[in-house]
């Protein structure tokens, strides 16, 4: 297109806007190829006014790349890179209509997310966060914080993709009985880890612990709701490091109040940061602010993975146009 040719020939280097913190190794790679504008915490309006000067945009989960952003780009934006796995904060329909490629970093934070799920599982079972808060408040409550054991308990992994399988491996090491539900996972991969693939209802009704690892799609939106909570074993414990939107948060609050769900450990929320903090303040909830992918190692890995993907996509775009 004309605007594309403008960007290639008038200013030989493309411009990449990075709207959330990206690891140094990834930034260095981007800078060797493009003009890089790191502008964090942009308001939606500021993002829209900058975007028409950019050939690519790199985001994490905090930037909503909606239709308005693609409209404001006036045809120049060619690539959106998601520094992570989930692309639910990018309007894919609008991206397609505006001829923009969307790429992600599908592997570099797998282990970090799995490790965070295990951290939440074990700290929830032993009330680590609550007991720590109590000690910091000057108390010594040994009877209040008696936990539950993990060994021999059934863990249901909902979504047996990269992260789900790594959680399964680790949970087996803790002596848990692991089952999984995933309509797309191959049975031989599950068998190799010693995990039984079973139906959704069977998984949620037999589990002592349920860990969520599915993407947020129209099919999985609020799949944990009044009806599905009512099928769970009383006293079940839930871990969510996937996406807040797969849980109906009002239904979870009711299930926690009635004791159907004994405890929940939540890293993700329907709205981030959550406006309504009833869940966060519930005494049986352990909450972290979307830290699943946040290890030094994962963030460096993700930065390089997304930088390579974005540069590759822009190079493809440039050679197709030239």
User: In degrees rounded to 5, what are phi and psi of residue 209?
Assistant: -130, 140
Please report whether residue 84 would count as binding ligand MLT according to CB under 6 A.
yes
- Rounded to a whole number of angstroms, the minimum distance from the CB of residue 161 to ligand MLT is 12
Q: Cβ(19)–Cβ(42) under 8 Å?
A: yes
Q: Is 243 a catalytic residue?
A: yes
Which of these segments, 73-81, 84-92, 152-160, 168-176, binds ligand MLT (CB under 6 A)? 84-92
Q: Is 300 a catalytic residue?
A: no
Q: Exactly one of 61, 123, 127, 270 binds ligand MLT (CB under 6 A); which one? A: 61
How many residues sit in the footprint of ligand MLT (CB under 6 A)?
Answer: 9
Residue 82, SS3 per DSSP: strand
Q: Is 290 a catalytic residue?
A: yes
**What residues contact residue 219 under an 8 Å CB cut-off, 6+ apart?**
none
Q: Cβ(227)–Cβ(260) under 8 Å?
A: no
Q: Is 253 exposed, middle or buried (0-12, 13-18, 19+ CB in 10 A)?
A: middle
Nearer to ligand MLT, 245 or 292 (CB): 292
Q: Exactly one of 4, 7, 109, 270 binds ligand MLT (CB under 6 A); which one? A: 109
Closest by CA position to 77, among listed 89, 86, 60, 90: 90
List 243, 249, 305, 317, catalytic entry: 243
Q: Cβ(155)–Cβ(179) under 8 Å?
A: yes
Please report whether residue 60 would count as binding ligand MLT according to CB under 6 A.
yes
List 71, 272, 300, 308, catalytic entry: 272
Q: Which neighbouring-strand residues pair with 236?
A: 261
- Rounded to a whole number of angstroms, the minimum distance from the CB of residue 138 to ligand MLT is 35
Task: Count CB-CB contacts under 10 A for residue 107.
Answer: 12
Dist CA 200 CA 179 (whole Å): 10
Nearer to ligand MLT, 14 or 84 (CB): 84
Annotate each residue in 279-308 with x if it binds ligand MLT (CB under 6 A) or - if it does not, as one string: -----------x-xx---------------
- Rounded to a whole number of angstroms, the minimum distance from the CB of residue 27 to ligand MLT is 16
- Rounded to a whole number of angstroms, the minimum distance from the CB of residue 111 to ligand MLT is 12
Q: Exactly one of 8, 66, 86, 189 binds ligand MLT (CB under 6 A); which one? A: 86
Q: Exactly one of 18, 73, 85, 150 binds ligand MLT (CB under 6 A); which one? A: 85
**DSSP label at 223?**
-
Q: Which neighbouring-strand residues pair with 38?
A: 18
- Rounded to a whole number of angstroms, the minimum distance from the CB of residue 66 to ligand MLT is 17
Please report whether residue 81 would count as binding ligand MLT according to CB under 6 A.
no
- Rounded to a whole number of angstroms, the minimum distance from the CB of residue 232 to ligand MLT is 25
**What residues contact residue 21 under an 8 Å CB cut-off, 6+ apart?**
40, 60, 299
Q: Is 303 exposed, middle or buried (0-12, 13-18, 19+ CB in 10 A)?
A: buried
Residues carrying an active site annotation:
243, 272, 290
Binding site for ligand MLT (CB under 6 A): 60-61, 84-86, 109, 290, 292-293
């Amino acid at each position: 297109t004309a605007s594309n040719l403008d960007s290639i020939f008038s200013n030989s280097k493309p411009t990449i806007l990075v709207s959330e913190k990206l690891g140094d190794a990834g930034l260095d790679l981007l800078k060797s190829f493009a003009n890089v504008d790191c502008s964090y915490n942009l308001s939606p309006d500021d993002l829209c006014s900058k975007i028409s000067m950019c050939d690519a945009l790199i985001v994490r989960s905090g930037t909503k790349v909606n239709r308005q952003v693609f409209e404001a780009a006036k045809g120049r934006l060619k690539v959106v890179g998601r520094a992570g796995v989930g692309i639910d904060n990018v309007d894919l329909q609008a991206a397609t209509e505006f001829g923009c490629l969307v790429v992600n970093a599908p592997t570099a934070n797998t282990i970090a997310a799995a490790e965070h799920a295990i951290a939440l599982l074990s700290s929830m079972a032993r009330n680590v966060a609550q007991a720590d808060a109590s000690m910091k408040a000057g108390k010594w409550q040994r009877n209040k914080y008696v936990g539950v054991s993990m060994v021999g308990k059934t863990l249901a992994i909902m979504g047996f993709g990269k992260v789900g399988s790594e959680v399964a491996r680790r949970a087996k090491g803790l002596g848990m009985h692991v089952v999984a539900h995933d309509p797309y996972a191959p049975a031989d991969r599950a068998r190799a880890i010693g995990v039984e693939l079973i139906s959704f209802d069977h998984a949620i009704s037999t589990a002592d612990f349920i860990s969520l690892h599915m993407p947020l799609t129209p099919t999985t939106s609020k799949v944990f709701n009044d009806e599905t909570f009512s099928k769970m074993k009383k006293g079940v414990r839930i871990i969510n490091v996937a996406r807040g939107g797969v849980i109906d948060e009002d239904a979870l609050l009711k299930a926690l109040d009635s004791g159907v769900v004994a405890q929940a450990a939540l890293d993700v929320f329907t709205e981030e940061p959550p406006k309504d903090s009833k869940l966060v303040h519930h005494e049986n909830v352990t909450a972290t602010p979307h830290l699943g992918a946040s290890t030094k190692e994962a963030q460096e890995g993700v930065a390089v993975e997304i930088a390579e993907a974005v540069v590759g996509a822009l190079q493809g775009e440039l050679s197709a146009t030239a």
